[in-house]
C-alpha cells in the first residue's frame, strides 16, 4: 500500500514538472513570436513613401493590398519627384524615398547612407499628340526636337504644326532617365514643365503639336507612343535592352529598414505583387529582365 502511494506521488510530481516545462516552452515560443515584424503584430505601424510619380501607382496599389491583410499599417504614398524622395529620406523626414534613378546620380544626396531596394523596372518613352501624324523617328531626330533644332513636325514627315515640348522639372527621375538614355545626355530646351505624369499625358493629348515623355505605366490611347529607330517601346524590348530608355524603380531607406518597414518592402517582391499589379500597371517584374544595368550604365546579361 505504501509502495503504491509512493509511486502515485512520484508520478504526480513528474507530471507537474513536465507541465511546467511545456509552459516554459510555450512562453519561449510566444516571446519569439512577439519579436516578429509588424506584419504579424497588432501594433500600429506608419510608413511614409515619397518621390517618383512614375513608381507612385505601383506602390499605391501594393499598399492597398498589403494594408488589407495588415490593418495595423498606415502607409502614405506621395509624389514630388525622385529628387524630393531621395533628399527627404536622406534627411530622415520620410520612411521611404521612391526614385527612378540611383541615389548616386543625385547631387546633394549622400548615397552611402541609403539602402537601395529595387522593386520593378519601368520603361519610358516619347509620346505625342495623336494628330501629328508621326509614329517613328530616329534617335538623332528625338535629340533635335528636345534641344530645339527641329521646330516643326513637317520636317519629320508629319503635319505642318509647330512642335510644343512639354518637359519635366529638374528634380524628376523620369527626366533624368529620359535625358540620359533618350537624348544621350543632352539637356532639353527650356519649356513648359509639369511634375505629374498624369498631367503631362493630359496636356499632350489636348495640345496640338505637343511632345513629352512618360513611363509605360502612364501610356494609353489618348496619345501616340513613338518608336525610335524602328524599335517599339515595349516591355519585351526593355527586357533585353533593345529599348534603352528604362530604369529601375528604387525604394530607398536610410540605413537598413526595421522589421516593420522590411515586411512591406519584402511584400513588394512577392509573386502576388510582381506577377500581379507590377504587370497590370505596365511595369516589368525584376525577374523579367534579361540584363542588369549598374549606375555607370554598364550592361551585363543575367
pLDDT per residue as tens digits for the range 254-302? 999 999 999 999 999 999 999 999 999 989 999 999 999 999 999 999 8
For residue 213, being part of any structural domain is answered with yes
pLDDT of 4 over the 80 cut: no
pLDDT (0 to 100) of residue 35: 37
Q: Indicate if 117 and 127 belong to the same structural domain.
A: no
Burial class (CB in 10 A: 0-12, 13-18, 19+), 296: exposed
Q: Does residue 26 lie within any of the structural domains?
A: no
Q: Please identify, among 224, 240, 256, the residue that sits at the C-terminal boundary of a domain.
A: 240
pLDDT band at 13 (very low <50, low <70, confident <90, very high): very low
What mean pLDDT is predicted for residues 137-165? 98
Question: In this structure, are 227 and 284 located in the same domain?
Answer: no
Output 194-200 pairs: Cβ under 8 A, ≥24 positions apart.
194/166, 194/167, 194/168, 194/169, 195/53, 195/79, 195/80, 195/81, 195/168, 195/169, 196/53, 196/79, 197/53, 197/54, 198/53, 200/166, 200/168
Domain assignment present for residue 223? The answer is yes
Would you say residue 194 lies in a domain? yes
Chosen domain end from 218, 240, 262: 240
CATH number of 78's domain: 3.40.190.10
Q: Provide the residue range defining the domain that includes 163.
A: 123-240
C-alpha torsion angle, residues 39, 269, 69, 44 (rounded to 10) = 30
Regarding whether 259 and 222 lie in a shared domain, the answer is: no
Residue 17 falls inside a structural domain: no
Q: Which of 200, 222, 240 is the last residue of a domain?
A: 240
pLDDT at position 39? 63
Q: Rounded CA gap, 291 and 293, in Å?
A: 7
Backbone angles phi, psi at 251, to 5 degrees: -125, 100
Do 174 and 101 fall into the same domain?
no
Contacts of residue 61, Cβ cutoff 8 Å, sequence gap at least 6: 277, 280, 281
Residue 146 shares a structural domain with residue 205: yes
CA max distance for the chain: 115
pLDDT score recorded for residue 38: 55
Mean pLDDT of 115-142: 97
Residue 156 in any domain: the answer is yes
Is residue 58 predicted with pLDDT exceeding 80?
yes
Q: What is the pLDDT of residue 40?
A: 66
Are 127 and 236 contained in the same domain? yes
C-alpha angle 133/135/139, rounded to 5°? 125
CA–CA distances in Å: residue 287 to residues 75, 100, 132, 195, 266: 26, 18, 37, 30, 15
On the question of pLDDT at 1 being above 50, the answer is no
Q: What are the tens digits of pLDDT across the range 156-211? A: 999 999 999 999 988 788 899 999 999 999 999 999 999 888 999 999 999 999 99
Q: How confident is the model at residue 27 (pLDDT cuts 50, 70, 90)?
A: very low
**Joined grid coordinates for residue 226:** 513613338
* 98 and 179 assigned to the same domain: no
Q: Is residue 19 part of a domain?
A: no
Residues 86 and 146 in one domain: no
228-267 tens-digit pLDDT: 999 999 999 999 999 999 999 999 999 999 999 999 999 9
The number of domains in the chain is 2
Contact 61, 277 (CB under 8 A): yes
User: Are both 53 and 131 inside the same structural domain?
Assistant: no
C-alpha cell at 272: 502576388
Q: Is residue 39 part of a domain?
A: no
Same domain for 68 and 58? yes
Torsion of CA 235, 236, 242, 245, to 10 degrees: 10
> Based on the domain organization, do 136 and 208 belong to the same domain?
yes
pLDDT of residue 245: 98
Residues 157 and 233 in one domain: yes
Amino acid at each position: 500500500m505504501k509502495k503504491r502511494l509512493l509511486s502515485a506521488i512520484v508520478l504526480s510530481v513528474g507530471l507537474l514538472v513536465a507541465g511546467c516545462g511545456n509552459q516554459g516552452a510555450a512562453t519561449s515560443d510566444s516571446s519569439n513570436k512577439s519579436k516578429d515584424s509588424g506584419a504579424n503584430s497588432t501594433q500600429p505601424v506608419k510608413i511614409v513613401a515619397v518621390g517618383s510619380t512614375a513608381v507612385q501607382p505601383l506602390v499605391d496599389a501594393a499598399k492597398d493590398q498589403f494594408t488589407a491583410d495588415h490593418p495595423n499599417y498606415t502607409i502614405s504614398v506621395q509624389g514630388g519627384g525622385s529628387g524630393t524622395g531621395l533628399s527627404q529620406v536622406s534627411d530622415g523626414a520620410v520612411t521611404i524615398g521612391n526614385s527612378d534613378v540611383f541615389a548616386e546620380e543625385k547631387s546633394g544626396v549622400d548615397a552611402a547612407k541609403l539602402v537601395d531596394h529595387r522593386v520593378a523596372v519601368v520603361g519610358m518613352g516619347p509620346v505625342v499628340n495623336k494628330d501629328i501624324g508621326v509614329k517613328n523617328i530616329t534617335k538623332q531626330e528625338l535629340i533635335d526636337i528636345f534641344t530645339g533644332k527641329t521646330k516643326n513636325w513637317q520636317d519629320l514627315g508629319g503635319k505642318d504644326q509647330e512642335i510644343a515640348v512639354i518637359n519635366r522639372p529638374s528634380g524628376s527621375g523620369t527626366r533624368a532617365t529620359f535625358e540620359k538614355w533618350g537624348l544621350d545626355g543632352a539637356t532639353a530646351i527650356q519649356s513648359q514643365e509639369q511634375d505629374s505624369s498624369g498631367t503631362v499625358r493630359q496636356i499632350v493629348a489636348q495640345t496640338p503639336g505637343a511632345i513629352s515623355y512618360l513611363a509605360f505605366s502612364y501610356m494609353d490611347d489618348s496619345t501616340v507612343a513613338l518608336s525610335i529607330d524602328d524599335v517599339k517601346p515595349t516591355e519585351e524590348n526593355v527586357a533585353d535592352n533593345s529599348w534603352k530608355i528604362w530604369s529601375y524603380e528604387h525604394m530607398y531607406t536610410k540605413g537598413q529598414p526595421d522589421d516593420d518597414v522590411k515586411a512591406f518592402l519584402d511584400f513588394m517582391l512577392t509573386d502576388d505583387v510582381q506577377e500581379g499589379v507590377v504587370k497590370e500597371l505596365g511595369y516589368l517584374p525584376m525577374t523579367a529582365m534579361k540584363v542588369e544595368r549598374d549606375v555607370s550604365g554598364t550592361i551585363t546579361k543575367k
